[in-house]
Each structure stands twice: as C-alpha cells, then as structure tokens.
Structure 1
Amino acid sequence: MTITNGESDARLAVRAARAGAAVVRELYGGRLARYEKSAGDFATEADLAAERAVLDVLREARPADAVTGEESGRTGAAGARRRWLVDPLCGTLNYAVRTMLAGVNVALRVGSEVTAAATADPFGGEVFWTDGERTWIRGDGVEEEAAPSAGSALVDVNLDPPFPNAPAFRAVHLLADPGFTARFRPRVVSSTLAVAWVAAGRRAAYVTDGDLRDSVHFAAGIALCRAAGCTVTGLYGEPVHTGAGGLIAAADAQTHAALLDLVKNQPRARSAHEGSPGGRPGTGNGAGRRRI
C-alpha cells in the first residue's frame, strides 16, 4: 500500500470521490447547462464541476500522477505508471431528469493493475472503496467490509450503446431469454453505481457490453468486485481490461457460470465464439466510452 504524506492511495480515492459527490449533490435539481458530445451524449455543469473537484484533490496530493478524466481527457505522461481514472458523474441521464441514481468513480491504475478505487453515492451518503485487497462500505459514520451475495437474484444489465460484440451479443436479448427470467430479475440502473452494489451484496450480478480498457466508468467497480471476492470476467470468460469483451461481474461462481451460459447461448454467440480460448472460468476471480 502506497502512503504519501500520511495518506494511502485508497484513502485519497475516497476523499476525492467524496469531493465530487458533494458537488453533484449541491447542484442537483437546478437548471444545468448541457454540453453536447456525440450520438446524443452530453455532459452537464455538474459533470464538469464534480470533475474539477476530484482533480483538485488528486493533483494537490499526487502532483506527479497522470489522470484520465471523463470530461477533461488525459493529462500527464502518456506512459505514466500511475494513472488516475475519473468518472465524475456516472448516471448523467438519470441526474439530468432528477433521478437520484448516480455515482462518482475514482480509480488508480499502477502499471496494469487498479490498486485503489472508490465509488461514492452522492444521495445515499455511502462510499464503496478498496485498497486492492479488501472492499469496504463507509456510511453513517460506520465502515463495514463488503459481503457479496447472490441472494437477491437481481441482475443489472446495461442497455446503453456502444455494442462492440453485436450481433454476437445483445443485452436486450439476454433479458428476453427464458433461462434468464427463470432464475434472475433484471434491473436497469443506468449507472455503474450498480457494479459497486454487486460487491456490497445488493445485486447478484452486473452485465454490460463495451470496451473496458482504461475505462473511467468501470475501473472502480471492477476493482471493488475483485477485492470483495466476486467472479469477474468478460462476456465470454476472458480477463477484463484486455479488449472489447464487456463484463460479467457476479457475486459468486455459480451465478457467473449461469450468466456465462446464457450469454454463450445467444444464437450468434454460439457460432462466433465456439471454441474460443478461455472457455468457462473456474471459481477464481478474473478480471466505451458512453455516458451511463
């Protein structure tokens, strides 16, 4: 664990995420200017202000580190060993229509591994964080270790584009599969806050398509789930962060195996990925740019 000036990277991630969450909470419900991006995607004043708050904390504490921000892009040396990944308001579409489902994601990648991360819930008052070894939930002055559980049978499925694995995999087809509805109950939160909920035992799993390499949206949630002991891979069992393979983050190996089978049973998936390397993972952990 890296400690600089008396503060670990994990505690810094928590502090930075909370700073962003305070801004998101403060600006909620007001008239916010929108800044169009592409394909119907946009940012609000809250996105930009929250990112500034997060970056101010990080740059003051770790001025030599590189940063990739959802709104400001990449700063620092291109090949920096230490890079912070910042998503200042994950759930902008929810937030813009006054729906309190959003998160602030802060993660530190050192080399090829995310070693510290935090996801703050601006409205629930909680922060989910990890030092890369264990995952904790802080709220109401109490801190407890995360305990994943598949008991709810609730599975969040991200329906937002892009869909790099289509037509082999389409999330909407997963929801229509009788095998899915026989075992699980779908949810669509439209924020990666739901990935933190898998680590916390509030969701059985989370499924999304997309390219997760250095993803400001998903890096924190994946780190939380891994450290909590969840089973985490790409859509076809491959390691995450290695390409446009999407994500299955499940509370346990059994839930993961069931979802992996459902994904592989999509008609085009069977032909496109039959015999692909990796196969079904065992019980161990594995490990787009679109606003959700």
Structure 2
Amino acid sequence: MINSYASLDDAGVAVAAARAGADVVRNMYGRRLTRIDKGAGDFATTADVEAEQAILDVIRAARPDDAVLGEEGGQRGAADVARQWLVDPLCGTLNYAVGNMLVAVNVALRDGAAAVADPFSGEVFFTDGETAWVRQDGVDAQLTPTPATQLVDVNLDPPFPSAPGFRAVDLLAHPGFVERFRPRVVSTTLAVAWVAAGKRAAYVTDGGDLAESVHFAAGIALCRAAGCVVTGIDGAPIGRTGRGLVVAGDAKTHGLLMSMIGSRSQKL
C-alpha cells in the first residue's frame, strides 16, 4: 500500500522508489515506445517518463516536503532545500530502446540514502549513507568491493569535456592497462554499482561535477558507503571543483589507473 511508504526510513524510501521505477522499465520492455528528442542525438522514451512518475509517486507519498530533481521532469520543489532527491529513472535509454537489458534506475537523497535497481536481475543496491547492501529475493547482503575480476568499465559516451587532456579511449591503449585489466563498456551507471558489489574492479568516466548528477549520485553514494576509493580523474574529491569519476574497489587499483591517466594526459 502506498500509504505505508511514510513509515519507511530514507533507505527504505530509496529502495521502494527505485523498485517502482524498475517495475515500469521491466514491464514496458520490448514495446514500441515513443521517443522524445532531447537534441544532440539524445532522447527519452515513454518508459523513462512513466518510470520517473512512479518514482515520484513513492517519494511524494513518503516525503511530501522533499524536493526532487528528475532527469525527465526537472526540478520539483525549491532547489535550495535541505532535502532533495536526484532521480534517473532509466539510465541506459539507448541500450533499452534497442532491446538491451543493461540499464539502471537511480534514486538518491542528496548526501544521504540511495538505491540503484537492476530491473532485469531483480537486484537493488542500496545504502543508508553508512553501509551498502544488495537486496535480491528478499535477502540482504552487504556489499564487498574487490578488484578480483580485473574488469574496468570505461564510459566512452560523449561529451568529452576534458579532451584532449584526457580521453577515456586513450586509457584503453595504455600498455599497462591491457597487461593488468580487461575493459568493459556497459553504457549505464549500473556499472558504478557493480564496483561496490565487486562485479567490477573499477569504473572511469569523464565529466564535470558528478556528485549531484542524477546519473551518478546513487552509484557514488553506494561506492563510498561500501569503502571504494572515489575521486575525479584528476585525483581531486568529487564535487564542483572535480572532473569526472574514477571509482575503484581498492587503493592499489585506483593508484594504477590514476598513474595511467596521468601518463596519457602528459603525452597529449
């Protein structure tokens, strides 16, 4: 019952909202969906819009005074309030639109709880801001990052604001990278949650301030709570002065990637 949402703590709200969005994404999968053009080759679908509405319904029922910044609907409520939810209802829209199931639903309370739902595996990765967990089939397990897979997910989608100083594709050509790691390109921030879960050794992307990005806020919160090493591509803390994101399962992996990023940047 939707009225029961008000009794949940913030982590519970994040999980419930992410699940609501994931239900919509899963149920609409495979349909012929209307595309909503955003320009520069980007678009949303009716699944994005309906999933965001389902998420918003949960947040409104649970926390009616909170503001929400949604990927599709924009700002709802005052942007300067103490409590604001960041919502990306379908991260990986292009994947989804062509019948690829690699997508994520991201819900994060700024500087607080967060959840990332995989609509097709049924996993929900979540944090209360201190500890990170994954819930599947009603069972919770604490997230334990590890570099054991040696898989590094690299975001190759434009734009590339740090080029030519840094281009993610150049990292893949570094001799040390191919000796130590194996690249993956999932093209959804589900891969950030996978670092917290030990399914990826690391994740690398270019960009500006990602800490309050609807795409990245939930994954960053998970990784921090799980104990991952999280910085920008310049080694600075994530925030308005940082650039991009390097998140790794341990300090050694993070250090190796930063040394490779630095050496490639110096040659450009």
TM-score by length of 2: 0.96
Contact 1:165 1:244 in 2 (8 A): no
Give ranges in structure 1 of 5+ residues lacking alignment. Answer: 273-292
Which residue of 2 is the match for residue 14 of structure 1?
15
Which residue of 2 is the match for residue 241 of structure 1?
239
1:270 equivalent to 2:266? Answer: yes
Which residue of 1 is the match for residue 137 of structure 2?
140
d(CA) in 1 for partners of 2:83, 2:97: 33
Which residue of 2 is the match for residue 287 of structure 1?
none
CA deviation string 1:199-258 (max 9, x = no partner):
000000000001214200000000000000000000011001224500000000000000
Which structure 2 residues correspond to residues 59-98 of structure 1 after superposition, within 5 A? 59-98=60-99
1:141, CA displacement in angstroms?
Answer: 2.2
d(CA) in 1 for partners of 2:197, 2:79: 34
CA deviation string 1:118-166 (max 9, x = no partner):
0000000000000011000000221100010100000000001111111
d(CA) in 2 for partners of 1:243, 1:155: 25
Which residue of 1 is the match for residue 248 of structure 2?
250
Q: Match of 1:261, SS?
A: helix
Fraction of identical pairs, as percent: 65
1:185 equivalent to 2:182? Answer: yes
Which residue of 1 is the match for residue 118 of structure 2?
121
d(CA) in 2 for partners of 1:170, 1:181: 16
d(CA) in 2 for partners of 1:71, 1:225: 25
Contact 1:164 1:244 in 2 (8 A): no
Aligned residues: 263
1:271, CA displacement in angstroms?
Answer: 7.6
Contact 2:24 2:47 in 1 (8 A): yes
Q: Match of 2:200, SS?
A: coil
Change (3 A) 1:6 1:249: same
d(CA) in 2 for partners of 1:218, 1:135: 16
Q: Match of 1:30, SS?
A: coil
Which residue of 2 is the match for residue 228 of structure 1?
226
Q: Residue type matched to 1:41 in 2?
A: D
1:23 equivalent to 2:24? Answer: yes
Q: Residue type matched to 1:216 in 2?
A: V
1:259 equivalent to 2:257? Answer: yes
d(CA) in 1 for partners of 2:6, 2:64: 12
d(CA) in 1 for partners of 2:267, 2:257: 18
d(CA) in 2 for partners of 1:228, 1:11: 18
Contact 1:213 1:243 in 2 (8 A): no
Q: CA RMSD in A?
A: 1.3
CA deviation string 1:78-108 (max 9, x = no partner):
2111110000000101000001100000000
Which structure 2 residues correspond to residues 33-44 of structure 1 after superposition, within 5 A? 33-44=34-45
Contact 2:236 2:242 in 1 (8 A): no
Contact 2:207 2:244 in 1 (8 A): yes
d(CA) in 1 for partners of 2:30, 2:241: 37
Which residue of 2 is the match for residue 288 of structure 1?
none
Q: Match of 2:39, SS?
A: coil
Give ranges in structure 2 of 5+ residues lacking alignment. Answer: none
Runs of 4+ in 1 over 6 A off after TM superposition: none
